[in-house]
């Protein structure tokens, strides 16, 4: 019997019919103080009709009269890839595609950096000069004041972490970054949402194919989940106004609640890099309602992009 993409999305999300929504108690009965769309892993490129896909996503995000976000939260990998051996000319091409695509977004976009947003510096050009290698290029393109920062909006505190700060080793915070985070959280008591590209806590790393199985053990790769997750969760325990952590990177969706903090991995706007669904997870984004008391509601949204079928790894039946 054929399986619909909605059924596939729900069944891929641990088989729980309620997984398409994540939220805290009493969140449905009141008016939110802030609404946000969570996008991640857009991976815009000139290939695979990606620009049309991004246009379809923004049209879906802003196409409803009964729900409209005040801002967009982007958890990284905005472009296909400017890391590695990507030349300045190729980076400029992807940057131009992103800038054109976000003209369709009428609200501010608050971003963090992904691993594919770190420019490798090969063959710089006048438009993409050598001094923009590393974090400089995409920090500017994404309108970020710094590689990590925070801001307040409508009674919520938003923290943008840099999972890449120890590049090329990533998915841990440097001592300086961790000290900044502690000080930043100590300065506010507003309910707080934290953005990171790599999940801080997630089950996606344990069920992303069979790659982390080592005999009878599961070894979570250090670049699939923050290796300093225990330290970060302890920081959040001492700052109970931290309510929600958003991430991407894994192109699959999950939600984890630990010590009163929800960790949501938002899949990917691009699905399987614009080749269809990633292990059954279609291209998607998140709708978030944030309330004054720190509660929230998060809905995973399949925006209906009809990409070609993914030809990657699946379980053989």
Using CA atoms in the order 185, 188, 189, 195, what is the torsion angle rounded to 10 degrees? -50
Residue 57: exposed, middle, or buried by beta-carbon count in 10 A (0-12, 13-18, 19+)?
Answer: buried
Structure token digits, residue 289: 């309602």
Say if 20 falls within a structural domain. Answer: no
N- to C-terminal Cα separation, the chain: 14
Q: Domain count of the chain?
A: 1
Say if 8 falls within a structural domain. Answer: no
Q: In this structure, what are the phi and psi dihedrals at residue 238, rounded to the nearest 5 degrees?
A: -85, 0
Say if 201 falls within a structural domain. Answer: yes
pLDDT of residue 312: 61
pLDDT digits (tens, 9 = 90+) for 259-279: 999 999 999 999 999 998 898
> How many angstroms separate the CA atoms of 97 and 107, rounded?
18
Say if 120 falls within a structural domain. Answer: yes
pLDDT digits (tens, 9 = 90+) for 25-79: 555 567 999 999 999 999 999 999 999 999 999 999 999 999 999 999 999 999 9
- Write the CATH number for 247: 3.60.21.10
Residue 259: exposed, middle, or buried by beta-carbon count in 10 A (0-12, 13-18, 19+)?
Answer: exposed
pLDDT digits (tens, 9 = 90+) for 66-114: 999 999 999 999 999 999 999 999 999 999 999 999 999 999 999 999 9
pTM listed for this prediction: 0.92
User: What range does the domain containing 56 cover?
Assistant: 35-302
Instruction: List % helix, strand, coil for the chain (3-state, nearest 5).
Output: 25, 25, 50
């Amino acid at each position: 019997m054929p399986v619909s993409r909605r059924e596939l999305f729900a069944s891929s999300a641990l088989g729980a019919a309620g997984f398409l929504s994540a939220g805290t108690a009493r969140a449905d009965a009141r008016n939110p103080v802030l609404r946000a769309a969570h996008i991640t892993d857009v991976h815009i490129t000139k290939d695979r009709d990606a620009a049309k896909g991004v246009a379809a996503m923004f049209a879906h995000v802003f196409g409803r009269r009964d729900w409209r976000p005040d801002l967009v939260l982007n958890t990284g990998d905005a472009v296909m890839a400017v890391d590695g051996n990507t030349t300045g000319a190729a980076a400029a091409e992807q940057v131009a595609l992103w800038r054109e695509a976000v003209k369709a977004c009428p609200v501010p976009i608050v971003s963090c950096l992904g691993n594919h947003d770190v420019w490798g510096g090969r063959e710089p050009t006048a438009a993409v000069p050598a001094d923009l290698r590393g974090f400089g290029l995409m920090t500017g393109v994404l309108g970020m004041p710094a590689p990590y920062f925070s801001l307040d909006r409508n009674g919520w505190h938003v923290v943008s972490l840099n999972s890449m700060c120890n590049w090329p080793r990533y998915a841990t915070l440097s001592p300086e970054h961790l000290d900044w985070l502690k000080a930043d959280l100590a300065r506010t008591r507003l309910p707080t949402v934290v953005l990171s590209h790599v999940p801080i806590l997630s089950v996606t790393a344990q069920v992303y194919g069979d790659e982390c199985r080592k005999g009878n053990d599961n070894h979570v790769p250090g670049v699939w989940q923050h290796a300093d997750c225990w330290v970060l969760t302890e920081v959040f325990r001492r700052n109970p106004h931290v309510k929600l952590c958003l991430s991407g990177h894994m192109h699959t969706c999950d939600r984890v609640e630990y010590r009163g903090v929800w960790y949501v991995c938002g899949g990917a706007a691009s699905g399987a890099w614009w080749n269809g669904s990633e292990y059954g997870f279609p291209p998607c984004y998140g709708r978030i309602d944030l309330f004054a008391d720190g509660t929230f509601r998060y809905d995973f949204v399949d925006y209906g992009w009809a990409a070609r079928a993914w030809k990657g790894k699946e379980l053989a039946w």
